[in-house]
Amino acid sequence: MSSAALMLKDLLAFEDLSNIKIKFNQYNGESYPIEDYMKNPDVVNNGWLFWRTEKRYFNVNEIAICLLEISKDIWLLTTIKRVTKEFNVKNDVNYEGEELEKYKPFYGRVVIKFHKDFQTQVRYAEGIIDQLEVLQILPTVFDGDDFPGYEKVRLSFEQLETIISRNKKDWIAALENQKAVYLIRDTNNGKLYVGSATGENGMLLQRWKSYISNGHGGNKELLDIVNTQGFDYIKKYFQYSILENYNSRVDKQIILSRETWWKETLGTRVPFGYNCN
């Protein structure tokens, strides 16, 4: 930590830390808070922050600082709330709170470095806030990873759905005007499906939107999965990546020939994969 480092305590400038607690939200064995935040920030700012199992974390009138883990030792400040009500329930949202408007410009924008070496999710701020260093104040609210380049795209159904539903601009710009040969992988059984976006059937973004909409995009084998195992199977196990991408001027037949080459190379036709032809 450099002597010129900006610390969270200096940024927030609380006069009294004695009634302030920090909730550290991390992977809970079932889901990652960052994924929920990307879809709907309130799921974290209310559900994750104020969830109770056996242990009570807050008292009425205490201030709760909500941090969620982005990556190892890196956290995002998502809200600060004063606890206004307790419901005395377990395994549910146990509290209600009002957001502190004073700090609203920081919500979703302040990235913090902190090495958490304790198990509990909640600690009093006065004992640890000296260790929370502000790494960055983002120009806009955090909305996930930036587009990494076509050769590095590998998205779960949930990640792709979030990009589309939140209209993430860099991803949308990268996908909406591209033709492509793409790969869908069933991570449950390893089976593959090779598809193409030729312009005639839509650009890559349009094709992928169809999978998010119904799970199958009009493809027979994928439709069979939706009909027999349910859309939730697709949502849980399917992964999307790009094999080759082309600008909008590339002839359709070139893309279709490359699609065939990939089907043969990866062995994606039935019964080994999900391609029918």
% of the chain at pLDDT higher than 70: 99
CA distances, 154 to each of 72, 180, 239 (Å) = 21, 14, 7
pLDDT in tens, 141-153: 888 878 999 999 9
Q: What pLDDT is recorded for position 165?
A: 87
Q: CA torsion angle for 53, 57, 58, 64 (degrees, to 10)?
A: -110
Q: What pLDDT is recorded for position 255?
A: 97
CA angle 230, 236, 238 (to 5 degrees): 95
Q: Give the H/E segment covering residue 86.
A: strand 74-86
- Confirm if 5 and 130 have CB atoms less than 8 A apart: no
- CA gap 17, 15 in Å, rounded: 7
Q: What pLDDT is recorded for position 3?
A: 54
Q: What pLDDT is recorded for position 162?
A: 86
% of the chain at pLDDT higher than 90: 86
Q: What is the residue type of 181?
A: V
Closest CA to 95 of 74, 127, 122: 122
Q: Could you tell me the CATH superfamily of domain 150-266?
A: GIY-YIG endonuclease (3.40.1440.10)
pLDDT in tens, 204-240: 999 999 999 999 999 999 999 999 999 999 999 999 9
Q: Where are the domains of the chain?
A: 6-137, 150-266
pLDDT, average across residues 94-106? 97
pLDDT in tens, 156-188: 998 899 899 888 889 999 999 999 999 999 999
Q: What pLDDT is recorded for position 145?
A: 78
What does pTM read for this prediction?
Answer: 0.68
168 vs 265, residue with greater confidence: 265
